[in-house]
Structure 1
């Protein structure tokens, strides 16, 4: 299993990278996770729009799904022979995004598979187990497994016992680390810090941690240091072009 980072910021993109987005590849199948702001361009440096086999969206905030819309436009308008793209998302989370274009333009470009966080999914070669994790809108953390390898992804999440279950013995945990340590009062319960990630990753015995959704301007070294206060395994920060190869 190969994970390619397309972006690693939360809220909005910077001049040099986009929001959280990941390409997960196994044996020729390409699963795009959370195509947020400014993730389509780095994706297209690696493959064509028609080469994406499926999309998984954790929740409907635009920093996690906005670039799905131009991806579908590319498939509908430039690559018309491409099959309908399977898109998996919590029920209703993409209604606003999919309604912004002219009526009918993208109808043949995608096939929407809506689910309730907590459902299990089969996506190509992957088994996807989902969890409902605390955020302002329904958010589905995902454990993506194939060939004995497990990738855990939180989407955006506040503290929850489910995070330990999600990350338990995962080969890689991709975790919301919006803040380094202190979380502003109005966001407590809906977002996480790098320090919190370290604590639950240690309990879960995750094999490695990739911090994502950092607030623009956050010092990556400070975020990694906060995670390492409690977690002794490998820690890195999601940046465009980072590639992680997992066995299986």
Structure 2
């Protein structure tokens, strides 16, 4: 885990960002604000094999820019980095530098939510989930293990299909219990995440995208009202080994 803050990174924290590894392949999922320094504590920028991004809000993709800079401006630039996302989601981030500066640093692969494809050893299945901008729920499978990730989403029955029988359900939980009316169609609570995890039969619910300053205990308590399985809050630096089912 590289971070788990929603909206902006709290002091000493980072926004959404997750590094997945299987069979030596490293897939970076949603490099939000302040995730690159956390990533570089674990691997070099050139050691990332691909990037997968759920949607275009900067707390989920802003640090793609410094990642590409680190690769393009180094002494021995690596091959172009495959970047998978929804059409147009990264237009703003990729326009931050002068035209052409990073053109050889990445190779953009657009996908449509509702389709499936492969990235290295990972099978990726996608769902269109409700948010302020187009957002893809992502289910990744490799080596007989599965992870479901909501990106950011409002309530929808599709979350049950997304997370059904997965080993790990990484679920947005911006609020502990009550989502403000103006956000209620596009963001979720830990209470709702617990309900969907219970209905989906997921093995491990991991709550993320907490509003900065939220006490993790309050989101855990809310989720536990609906789900009796294992529940944790995403914490920077934590490693989860799905083969062992516990933090490494």
TM-score by length of 1: 0.97
**Residue 204 (structure 1) aligns with:** 200
**For residues 99-248 of structure 1, what are the structure 2 equivalents within 5 Å?**
99-247=95-243
TM-score by length of 2: 0.97
Aligned mates of 2:163, 2:75 — CA distance in 1 = 38
**Residue 47 (structure 2) aligns with:** 51
Aligned mates of 2:130, 2:180 — CA distance in 1 = 16
1:32 aligns with 2:10: no
Aligned mates of 1:196, 1:95 — CA distance in 2 = 32
Aligned mates of 1:145, 1:31 — CA distance in 2 = 12
CA shift for structure 1 position 17: 0.6
Judging by fraction of residues, say which structure has more strand: 1
RMSD: 0.9
Higher RCO, Cα 8 Å, sep 6+: 1
- Deviation above 2 Å: which 4+ runs of structure 1? none
Question: Is the 1:59–1:89 Cα contact (8 Å) retained in structure 2?
Answer: yes
Unmatched 5+ stretches in structure 2: none
Secondary structure of the corresponding residue to residue 163 of structure 1: helix
